[in-house]
Amino acid sequence: MERLETILDAIENLDGIDTNSREAPLALIEHIELVHPSTHIDEIFTMVPETGLVGVEKEPYADTLLCPHSKDAILRACGAGIAASDRLILGNQKRSFCAVRPPGHHAETARANGFCFFNNVAIATRYLQQKHQIGKVAIIDFDVHHGNGTQEIFYHDESVLYGSIHESPLFPGTGLESETGVGNIFNAPIDGGTGGADFLEIFKTKILHNVDKFEPEVVLVSAGFDAHKRDPLANINLESEDFYTITKQITEIANRHSEGRVISFLEGGYDLLALSQSIKEHLRALYED
């Protein structure tokens, strides 16, 4: 909750950028079923407790917890991407940022993990393809952790490119360069201690270069801010300003190939000051053009 409050404060205090905040609707189960089987969805929601906390994972990663309000939170997290997709196509709102909790990129087809229950960005991808007849979607993930769920869901799908830059070794232990799917998966694992200049160069050559060649119709972003030097869960040394450059490079590709269409989804980021500063840089680059 503190993280969302920090983000909302950052949005309200963003100078020079006109933003229009809306509450996310509850997603329909049929939209979640575009990615996740109904039995898995039922299992997650059946586990929601009346009081206290319930973990959905086995040890040693028993940190994906449900509370009494989890069902609505999960449905709104999924619903944010659905609503942004509709506005993208029907309302011509070409840029959206989904400030969602819980995050999604670790959620696999039938496995919740890493604080994630259902995969928000994957659900939006399938919704865009099936509801709005979008063909090629690129998902760019700059969270410091690899999005094992997003990779697993699209591993054999040539219509979706997934590109991730992430610290390695680090949870969840996936994301090797050798994991290439059907030529649609591009991983750029980086060493702990990597600074901004090296990060940006690797991101450009190993991720953005391939997205550019893919020529997506829509670009989706798994926007994690835990590669910041202040973040306690990782060891990458980005400054807040680096997230402006990262985002600007993404929007330039979207302007070339995707009519400027970008939807960004909040993933990680666990230091409140770094999160506030980095979100402002991300939104400034996302919305200024």
- pLDDT tens profile 243-263: 999 999 999 999 999 999 999
- pLDDT tens profile 111-156: 999 999 999 999 999 999 999 999 999 999 999 999 999 999 999 9
- C-alpha distances out from residue 259 to 78, 253, 256, 262, Å: 24, 9, 7, 9
What secondary structure letter does DSSP report for 63? -
Query: Who contacts 182 (Cβ-Cβ below 8 Å, separation ≥6)?
Result: 155, 156, 157, 158
pLDDT of residue 14: 80
- pLDDT tens profile 169-192: 999 999 999 999 999 999 999 999
Query: Does residue 22 or residue 229 have the better pLDDT?
Result: 229
Quick one: average pLDDT of 197-226? 98
61 confidence band (pLDDT: 50, 70, 90) = low
C-alpha–C-alpha distance, residues 79 and 83, integer Å = 6
Is 215's pLDDT higher than 70?
yes
1 confidence band (pLDDT: 50, 70, 90) = low
Looking only at the bridges linking them, the beta strands covering 218-223 and 262-266 are: parallel
Type of residue at 95: R
Token pair of 17, please?
């950028």
15 confidence band (pLDDT: 50, 70, 90) = confident
Is 236's pLDDT higher than 80?
yes
Domains of the chain in start order, with CATH, are: 2-287 (3.40.800.20)
pLDDT of residue 59: 60
**Do residues 227 and 144 lie in contact, with contact meaning Cβ atoms separated by under 8 Å?**
yes
Is 206's pLDDT higher than 90?
yes
- Which of 55-69, 91-105, 223-237 shows the lowest mean pLDDT across its residues? 55-69
The residue with tokens 């991101």 is 203
Phi, psi torsion values for 268, nearest 5 degrees: -95, 180
Task: List, by residue number, the catalytic residues.
Answer: 106
